[in-house]
Amino acid sequence: MPDATGDATRAAHAGLPAAEPFRPPMPGPVMSAYFHLPGDPTGAPYAYGRETNPTWTALETAVAELESPGEPAHAAVFASGMAAVAAVLFGHLRPGDTVVVPSDGYHGVHQLGDRLGEFGVTVRQVATADTEGQLAALADARLLWLETPANPGLDTCDIRALADAARERGVLVAVDNTLPTPLGQRPLELGADLSVASGTKGFSGHGDVLLGYVATRDAALLGPVRTWRSCVGAVPGPMETWLAHRGMATLPLRLERQSANALAIARRLLERGDVADVRYPGLPGDPGHAVAAAQMSAFGGVVSFTLPDRAHAERFLAALRVIGEATSFGGVRSMAERRARWTEPPAGPTPGDGAGEVSAADDPAGAHPAAQVPPGFIRLSVGIEDAADLIADVDRALDETARSAD
């Protein structure tokens, strides 16, 4: 890519081939399950579509450049964020190992933790903001898994301090960097061994791609991850990979706009008396702000707050007109959801007929006690619309909800 130090230039050019007369600046997706492979396949760059693909190579090069612009790095892309998470956990953990995970982090990690437990791996859970608890949990651990800001509660932790402590104990550190994206936070620069993300969210940003990736400065750490990808076939399609690479060019613009919009909405929510526990790392008064400000260059587009109860929250969501109701974040269009719907039974049970009980069969997201939030908890993913329109939509929906409750 051209000589550059700016993130926007890097995002627009990373992973693209050198300019060649009469050729496109960004080659199209390579749709092939196999490649011509004469003779000895050892060292062949492309042999079979479950192992490698030129379109993956382009995006992996770009991801490595964004996650670690100052030092060579390596990356592997996956069919989804969870496929990337699974590759790290199952690729680097063995029976008898211990992994430390955030008790308030993404519920999918806890689901995988249950599976790891079945294979003889010990899973210790510690809250993201509990630094002392995390340090204590490192004893005899093999891997420390961090998520900062945590999804959905938005607590933060000091990556550098924890990575330094883990290194002294010989513990690997992996950071879920989905919410910040590599332009909002760079775990590898802060001492983490692995940076993992769902490219489905802010990285690709348009809500039309399922994708994940793992990045590291240590090529040896990527070996087990790539082996897992190939063995289980957790590979991304060429078109999805190409779309994510194409969308990456606008990441700086999207992230800047989303962060500004999120801060404006968070400030407005603080002015209202009908919401509680407004969380956004960019707010100076937020409990996680000091840590976030020290290690993040942008605070992202996710805001959370709590309404009085389930019914109140559902009325609020139904009253929104610009902001959609969906379970994702980081996209160009704003969306919100009552996050507790994934960890509680469907509406309508009465006492005595199973109220308060939920199984994985009833809950497609996989209920897990560690992932629970209050019934009125709202996760708001702020998009790139005009801030005034988003604030007006939230205000109007809250006002309508209050009137309907009277």
Query: Which residues are known to be catalytic?
Result: 50, 106, 176, 201
DSSP 8-state symbol, 127:
-
Q: How far apart are CA 177 and CA 191, in angstroms?
A: 13
167-203: b (≥16 Cβ within 10 Å) or e: eeeebbbbbbbbbbbbbbbbbbbbbbbbbbbbbbbbb
Residue count of the chain, please give it.
Answer: 406
- Can you spell out the DSSP letters for 237-274? PHHHHHHHHHHHTTHHHHHHHHHHHHHHHHHHHHT-TT
> Is 312 strand, coil or helix?
helix
Q: How far apart are CA 322 and CA 392, in angstroms?
A: 9
Q: How far apart are CA 274 and CA 284, in angstroms?
A: 21
Report residue 88 CA to chain centroid gap. 14
What is the edge-to-edge ordering of all strands in the sheet holding 276-279? 276-279, 302-306, 377-381, 335-338, 324-325
- CA angle (385, 388, 389) in 5-degree steps: 55
